[in-house]
Amino acid sequence: MTRIDRSKDIIEIHVQSGKIKCKYKSDGSSADTHEASRGEYVRWSCADGNYTIVFGMHTPFANPTYSKKKNELLSIPVDLRAKRRETFKYSVVVERGVNDHVVRDPEIVID
């Protein structure tokens, strides 16, 4: 199966009916599993609130946590030391107000 080039795409984070949906800006398809190459930038945005991308100790990026304000673009390069076919689970947290947030757990796969 041929991989779709998502190197310039943006993963849009939406909150719908109290749940987070991660979709590609270009075509609206699911971005719950995103394939990326070493050195390639992964980009996120969220129009529904301030958001945080959280990896555990196992991350393909320089840091395990990144936060942005509503409508700000987050763009991070995949670490060149990431191993091929390695999978990284992460959480997306969207702040909706004081003590109100929504969480989703997608993944990034290094190709």
Which is nearest to 38 in space by CA: 2, 74, 82, 6?
82
User: What residue ranges define each of the domains in the chain, with the CATH number in brackets?
Assistant: 11-110 (2.60.40)
For residue 83, the 8-state DSSP code is: P
Provide block-wise average pLDDT over 10 residues at a time, the chain (111 residues). 78 90 94 93 95 91 96 95 91 78 79 82
- Output the pLDDT for position 107: 84
> What predicted TM-score, i.e. pTM, was given to this entire model?
0.87
CB hemisphere CA count around 94 (13 angstroms): 23
3: CB partners within 8 A, 6+ apart = 35, 111
